[in-house]
Amino acid sequence: MAQEIFKRYELKYLITMDQYKRFREAIMPHMNVDTYGNPEGKYNIISLYFDSDDYKIYYETRNKLRFRQKLRLRIYDQADLNSQAFFEVKQKFKNVVNKRRTVIPLNEAYESIKEPQWNADLSKYNPSNPQIMREVLHFKDLYDLKPKVVVSYDRQAFMGIEEKDLRVTFDYNLMCRNDDLRIENGPRGQYFIDPGYVVLEVKVSNSVPFWLARLLSEFELPKQSVSKYCTSIDLTTNIHKQQKIN
């Protein structure tokens, strides 16, 4: 059964393709490829992000509020309407990320967001966790969230050999679109990060192990705030121009 509740720290870095290849080789003695992906630990991710008409979620992140949250619907690799999808509520307080998700058939996920929670008959759906599903619908109604943008990318993921809570991921081919919000239609759109760059994320429950901290220092990789959602909204809307006017 897929893990449904996560609590961890997430550190992000924007690195070149050459740095990605060299850093990946450097961590290999300490890590295994993620068994979820192909033999190299690679897979594709497509996410539908939600926001209000006045972009409350976007501004929470852009303004770096101490508490902020997102709602997204996610699939992995090729999928159709009968495939399993993940409804995820992702919250960040200070530097700690909490993620709660439930598995649900993609066609049911689309149907569930068409009606308000108070009128929703959850018995019609088959989420893996009904309580998290109720949280998803409550969050949607509270912010009046609607589908806004699709974000897709390829990922190579690794898991710590000794540190079981450690994950290191490399995301590339980062694209977005808002003209077609059906995630089963696959990864396509505009690049919102130059194809020559990769988003490196270090995910850990407690502290970064010494060997990894040493490598990050040796490679001179500075931490950098990289919001896939906000960058996609900047590209697909005129919200950035509106900010300058205001």
Q: Is 179 helix (H, G, I), strand (E, B) or coil?
A: coil
Residue ranges of alpha helices (H) inside 44-88 are 56-62
Residue 224 confidence (pLDDT): 86
Strand partners, 99: 6, 90
Residue 245 confidence (pLDDT): 40
Q: Which residue has the tokens 């943008």?
A: 149
Residue 224 makes CB contacts below 8 A (sequence gap 6+) with 12, 13, 14
Q: Write the CATH number for 115.
A: 3.20.100.30
- Its pTM stands at 0.93
Report the alpha-carbon distance of residue 79 to residue 62 in Å, rounded.
31
Residue 1 confidence (pLDDT): 59
Range of the domain at 107: 5-245
Residue 241 confidence (pLDDT): 52
| C-alpha angle 13-18-19 in degrees, rounded to nearest 5 | 35
pLDDT 10s per residue in the chain (246 long)? 578 888 999 999 999 999 999 999 999 999 999 998 999 999 999 999 999 999 999 999 999 898 999 999 999 999 999 999 999 999 999 889 999 999 999 999 999 998 776 666 778 899 999 999 999 999 999 999 999 999 999 999 999 999 999 999 999 999 999 999 999 999 999 999 999 999 999 999 989 999 999 999 999 998 888 899 999 999 999 776 555 444
The number of distinct structural domains making up the chain is 1
